Structure 1
Amino acid sequence: MSYASRGLPVPEVLVHLVDVHCHPTDAPSIATSTIESLPCTLCPMSTQQGDQSKVAEFARARPDRVVPGFGYHPWWTHRISLDASAGTLPDHATHYRNLFLPEPLSSSPPNAELEAAFARLLPTLPTPIPLADVIADVRAHLTEFPTAMLGEVGIDRAARIRFTDADASGVGNNGRVLSPFSTPFGHQLAILEAQLALAIELRRNVSLHSVKAPAQTLALFDRMATTHGAAWFAISVDVHSCTLSTEVWREIEKRHPNVFLSLSTAINGCSPNPIALIRACSPTRLLVESDYSDVREAPTRTWDMACIVAETRDWPIEDSWERERERSLAALDESQWGVVRRLEVNWHRFIKGGHVAPMEKVSARGRERVSNDLNQ
């Protein structure tokens, strides 16, 4: 999918646009004037221990335009310990060795290359924090902000831990060099499910990261429905910058009426898959986002994605927001709605939650189709 920036619409249209997932606090700083002049609604996400308070500060500065997300991203879950009990933690080296270099089942000698990589990585890794502290932190922020969602949380089977030390020449690599280590999937999943349980308890919506894990994502949703029943369907879940196949998405959409998808030019802009997803997705489940760190550019990138959705679905693109038309929304033929109005209605449906669980069981043919897709 290729695109060219369209340029922002008039303010009366832009004010109705929602960027459902962005990362403005990843930037070194945000000018006060930029925060004061936000032209649309933004949903800034937190990802790790260091940025939860930054997102909170951003939300406090513009509560009318910011819907914050609090949570711990799978890229940073190696820093969280599942083994803490009675206020104790495994020591620093033991925690990370158990994750990245677990004792082999055989008596084979340790891999010298992996041992060298671990020795390089270990000094740059922080002291692990207990999962109980993570959940307490997220709970405190969600409690402070009644409209906040859980995010960004999720699973990632492609990510590897980054080296952040200087290379042999003494020049810092700024985290661009990847180590051979990944956070074990079971570790990621345990932390995700603990956070989801909190979201379900507090009835908060979720912004979910899912990379290279289509079968695992579908299984997760099914498990949540089985475990939590109606409470699962009471919340909404957005698979952000969605890269799932259309077959898997259709199965999720069928089984889980509480799951939405959003797309961004930042992640989805170089692939043909988003066009197929836009066409396959129910028009009531589509959202858009920037997934971007520069708050000054986030509205433009979100608008660009909205225009791609409009062109793909053959929806009008608003060039004005007529007051009379807005007042007569209930009487207006929905087929004539523009893309911004449709996306805004979807956003309100997402925020409201309270979805009805599907009554029909998934057909054997549907399960077979998804299984075949996942095994390709």
Structure 2
Amino acid sequence: MLPAPEILAHIVDVHCHPQVAPSIAASTIEALPCTLCAMSTQREDQPKVAALARARPDRIVPAFGYHPWWAHRISLNVPARTVPDHAAHYRALFLPDPSPSPPPSAELEAAFARLLPSLPPPIPLADVLADVRAHLIEFPAAMLGEVGIDRAARIPFPAPADAADGGNITPALSPFSVPFAHQLAILEAQLALAVELRRNVSLHSVKAPSQTRALFDRMAATHGAAWFAISVDVHSCTLSPEVWCDIEKLHPNVYISLSTAINGRSPAHIALIRASSPTRILVESDYHNACDAPARTWDMARIVADTHGWSIEDVWDDRPPPDESRWGVVRRLEANWHAFVRGGHQAPVKKSTARERRWRDYSLDLVEIDTEDQREL
């Protein structure tokens, strides 16, 4: 059951995908009871998110970026406004020259031949960055998102013909995934843009705990204070409490958000909530239906409250109690969101330990190791 409107108005769904729905009624956008952070993921939905933000600028925080599930559609190291060779681009990603190893098996070649006709012409990374830059500049409050890394996703085969006639059939997955080094190059280019424009980030991270921590360490080393000036949300976070605590200590600009859609599949998120600093937690729906997103976000807010033993507001007072220990979950989450939006975090000042120096040396090898893993797949 949703709370009173004056309470729900202070809830922020920090990650959702309303533009994915086939259509959104104007009345739905006009009646939004809380703030939604609408995430772009691929070329086709950047303008859809922009349209939502124009329709309801007080309730929609837009985010523009390219998701790792579609990173294979992006070509590196080619000039802007060019059309990379279609087959050569995808073959280099999915069936790279294994010399001196044996050539790809007949099964992989057959899978590639089945997949290739469904893949769109690749676009140069320079065009991607220009598109993201233009949208971020148009919307001064916009975030970079959804961007990230995913070591579990596979490229789907084209949907069966009867799916186009209304059949609810999930396409089969191909044996191919986007090489990790390719994902990382696209992610780091987008993060550099976020640092340049000082925009906060919504980050996707799946099956990549060590790589995510190494990424944050590398961004801090590369960008210094400019990195800590922006905030980063690891959305629908599935990191272990141990990994998260390490990140939380070293990166005061990194937050986590949780959703019932993803985190609710396992009780593991309860331990993560307990382990996290109360000031570094956000909530989200990670959902595509704007009508249902507020209720799903509220459900996660209640879980956070129950886990931390926080009260749940039943009335709203615009004058918060001076004693923050008396704050309810909505006021706490709202304060976290405001801190996230403000950014400007102070970089930690400490000498590296021998353990951390060993970690840095180890992390430099992660991309190369992941590239080898992709070849074995």
- Quick check: TM above 0.5? yes
The residue aligned with 1:351 is: 341
The residue aligned with 2:262 is: 267
Matching residue's letter, 2:151: R
The residue aligned with 2:53 is: 59
User: Aligned partners of 1:308, 1:241: CA distance in 2, in Å?
Assistant: 14
Matched, 1:96 2:90: yes
The residue aligned with 1:19 is: 13
User: Aligned partners of 1:225, 1:219: CA distance in 2, in Å?
Assistant: 10
Task: Give the superposition deviation at 1:293.
Answer: 0.4
Root-mean-square deviation (CA), in Å?
2.1
Task: Give the superposition deviation at 1:89.
Answer: 4.0
The question of whether the paired residues in 1 share the 8 Å contact of 2:159 and 2:171 is answered with: no
User: Aligned partners of 2:74, 2:359: CA distance in 1, in Å?
Assistant: 37
Matching residue's letter, 2:245: R
Q: Deviations over 1:194-223 (max 9, x none)?
A: 000000000000000000000100000000
The question of whether the paired residues in 2 share the 8 Å contact of 1:224 and 1:232 is answered with: yes
User: Aligned partners of 2:163, 2:213: CA distance in 1, in Å?
Assistant: 45
* 1:129-148 correspondence runs (5 A): 129-148=123-142
The residue aligned with 2:224 is: 229
141, 146, 150: which is aligned to 1:156? 150
Q: Deviations over 1:341-370 (max 9, x none)?
A: 000000000000000000124545678899
Matched, 1:45 2:39: yes
SS in 1 for 2:33: coil
Task: Give the superposition deviation at 1:258.
Answer: 0.1
* 1:233-272 correspondence runs (5 A): 233-272=228-267
SS in 2 for 1:21: strand
The question of whether the paired residues in 2 share the 8 Å contact of 1:167 and 1:173 is answered with: no
SS in 2 for 1:266: coil
SS in 2 for 1:178: coil
Q: What fraction of aligned residue pairs are identical, expressed as a percent?
A: 73
Q: Deviations over 1:231-284 (max 9, x none)?
A: 000000000000000111001001100000000000000212110111010010
Summarize the Cα distance change of 1:143–1:345 in structure 2 as closer, same or farther, 3 Å threshold. Answer: same
User: Aligned partners of 2:263, 2:62: CA distance in 1, in Å?
Assistant: 23
User: Aligned partners of 2:163, 2:279: CA distance in 1, in Å?
Assistant: 54
User: Aligned partners of 2:53, 2:201: CA distance in 1, in Å?
Assistant: 17
SS in 1 for 2:279: coil
SS in 1 for 2:203: strand
Q: Which runs of 5+ in 1 are unaligned?
A: 1-6
Matching residue's letter, 1:32: A
User: Aligned partners of 2:59, 2:352: CA distance in 1, in Å?
Assistant: 39
Q: Deviations over 1:316-347 (max 9, x none)?
A: 0001102xxx22x3x52100000000000000
Summarize the Cα distance change of 1:86–1:47 in structure 2 as closer, same or farther, 3 Å threshold. Answer: closer
The alignment's TM-score, normalised by the length of structure 1, stands at: 0.92
Task: Give the superposition deviation at 1:168.
Answer: 11
* 1:306-345 correspondence runs (5 A): 306-322=301-317, 326-327=318-319, 329=320, 332-345=322-335
User: Aligned partners of 1:341, 1:170: CA distance in 2, in Å?
Assistant: 46
User: Aligned partners of 2:140, 2:230: CA distance in 1, in Å?
Assistant: 14
Matching residue's letter, 2:328: G
Q: Which moved more, 1:164-173 or 1:57-66?
A: 164-173
User: Aligned partners of 2:107, 2:132: CA distance in 1, in Å?
Assistant: 38
The residue aligned with 1:281 is: 276
User: Aligned partners of 2:61, 2:5: CA distance in 1, in Å?
Assistant: 20
The question of whether the paired residues in 1 share the 8 Å contact of 2:84 and 2:123 is answered with: no
Summarize the Cα distance change of 1:45–1:106 in structure 2 as closer, same or farther, 3 Å threshold. Answer: same
Q: Deviations over 1:271-309 (max 9, x none)?
A: 121101110100100000000001100000000000000
Number of matched residues?
361
The alignment's TM-score, normalised by the length of structure 2, stands at: 0.92
User: Aligned partners of 1:275, 1:32: CA distance in 2, in Å?
Assistant: 37
The question of whether the paired residues in 1 share the 8 Å contact of 2:39 and 2:62 is answered with: yes
The question of whether the paired residues in 1 share the 8 Å contact of 2:39 and 2:49 is answered with: yes
Q: Deviations over 1:103-138 (max 9, x none)?
A: 112252431000000000000000000000000000
User: Aligned partners of 1:169, 1:281: CA distance in 2, in Å?
Assistant: 43
